[in-house]
Amino acid sequence: MKTKYIWLLAVLLSFTACNNDDDSSSTVDNLPPLTAGEADFSNYVAVGASFSAGFSDGALFIATQENSFPNIMSKKFEMLGGGSFSQPLMNDNIGGFVMGGTVVANPRLYFDGSGPVVLPATPTTQITDHLSGSFNNYGIPGAKSFHLGIPGYASLNPYFGRMASSPTATVIGDAVAQNPTFFTLSEIGGNDVLSYATSGGTGVDQTGNLNPATYGGSDITDPNVFAASFSAAVDALTANGAKGVVTNVPYITSLAHFTTVPYNPLDPTNPDFGPQIPLLNSIFGAINQIYVAIGEPERSIVFSETEASPVVIRDEYLTDVSAQITGALMASPTFPAFIAQFGLPPSAAPIVAGLLGQTYGQTRQATANDLFVLPSSSIIGKVNQQYADNLTLQGLPAATAAQFSVEGITLPLEDKWALLPEEQLAIKTATDAYNVTIESIANANGLAMVDFKSILIEASTTGITSGNYILNTSLVTGGLISLDGVHLTSRGYAVMANEMMRAIDATYGSNFEASGNFVDCGDYPTNYSPSLQ
């Protein structure tokens, strides 16, 4: 049994610049000359995570590194005496990397006409090869706030390992060693909640735990740990009088990674699903009666024969009523006849009752308040073969085992595929706390700040205007978010560079915008051809 492939069949939009018949040469001639104001751009250093690195389409590769917002900005800074801007470039435009002969990180994604797919190529970047020289871009994919000051982080993160000055170096230490006159400290705090979100909330909200050494990879960072780490980074970067710009943390649940897969993707016109609806409703009807009897009718599962239906999910925040379901089914005199429709003898009743109790003791159908991570689109409606095999070991026929193993239909989706409202609230609460810290420290140090949170809210609702373009957060067609659903497109990074320069103008008296020196986001692509390797 399968649902229709969830990816929306879409074609890439062609964003065409609006024509203007007016002769604008006189306007250009009247623009004021570019000035730096109070800022000194002679030695610019970027510190951050994947956005600073230029990560896009699920990978880091040369084209997006060259279109990273720090590299875009550095070219404008050169016009005001800025020096060269060195980045730890990957070896190719395939993306991903290898260790020895083993592919450790997959190549980049590309759009094949129906959805994002992995580029069929082998990465050439040996991630253990160390790069010599000093660098200006310390955007480290995967870095959390407290990682910036960890000695030996090079052994934990290969992106930093290939550029670290020594095995015991810290990210912030190496950045400060470049003696920057100007810096960007961007997206710090994003990864402190992102891994929790992309894992479907399987991690732990560590609020109250001040020891990050005890955190798991998918945990939410305690706001006090974040505050100490962010403050230490700013103190180090400003110690020599450098000026800079910081960004706050957006509500990442507005990104396409969490908004593309609908909560109700089960289409009754799908020939693999629609004909099964009467049988499914019969199965769940017996369980729904138990939900009603125990006073929780809202857990009832019903599939519509006329409209798209929500998937079935496991909700760890529900009371576990497995024992009540099993007991009620075993006590029902009609249960043996019920299982007979699956070709099962009365002796199988205890096994099936236990199976149904265990499977549906903490389940419900999804609502519009639930979010689903992008990879869930590849498993909804498909048989979980491992689960089916386990059922056959318990004595169920293979065909029956498969019927009870369809992801999101007869087998509730595991927690890793969904962000429940409680988990979304944990992300928002931590993000809000991080942003209070960021704004306070930025104000105390006279730093420029980009309100990335408000920008993403606008992009995910009305769309944001940049030059002749309106960009939004829709996957594939929105122009802002790349094919992985989280990171920006190169066009998105150009927008980010402009927002950075706008904040610099407002704080330090430069005039990038007034002098006509914003970049045209239309000069930057939203996607890359699979032939680019």
Burial class (CB in 10 A: 0-12, 13-18, 19+), 418: buried
8 Å CB contact between 115 and 7: yes
pLDDT of 8 strictly over 80: no
Give the model confidence (pLDDT) of 271-308 as tens digits: 999 999 999 999 899 999 999 999 999 999 999 999 99
Give the model confidence (pLDDT) of 64-83 as tens digits: 999 999 999 999 999 999 99
Report pTM. 0.92
pLDDT of 521 strictly over 60: yes
Domain ranges in the chain are 30-259+420-512, 274-419
Give the model confidence (pLDDT) of 145-177 as tens digits: 999 999 999 999 999 999 999 999 999 999 999
8 Å CB contact between 402 and 396: no
Q: What are the backbone dihedrals phi and psi of residue 3, each rounded to the nearest 5 degrees, phi first?
A: -90, 170
Helix axes 69-78, 490-508, angle to 10 degrees: 50
Q: What are the backbone dihedrals phi and psi of residue 308, each rounded to the nearest 5 degrees, phi first?
A: -65, 135
How wide is the angle at C-alpha 470 spanned by C-alphas 198 and 452, nearest 5°?
45
pLDDT at 9: 34
pLDDT of 20 strictly over 80: no
CA distance 35 to 38: 9
| % of the chain exceeding 90 in pLDDT | 89
Confidence band of 424 (pLDDT split at 50, 70, 90) = very high
pLDDT of 5 strictly over 50: no
Give, in words, the CATH class of 30-259+420-512.
alpha beta
9-18, 79-88, 401-410 — which is least confidently predicted? Answer: 9-18
Confidence band of 7 (pLDDT split at 50, 70, 90) = very low
Residues 6+ apart with CB under 8 A from 295: none
pLDDT at 395: 85
Task: Supply the DSSP string of 123-143, one letter for each residue.
Answer: ---BTTSPPPS--SEEE-TT-
pLDDT of 4 strictly over 90: no
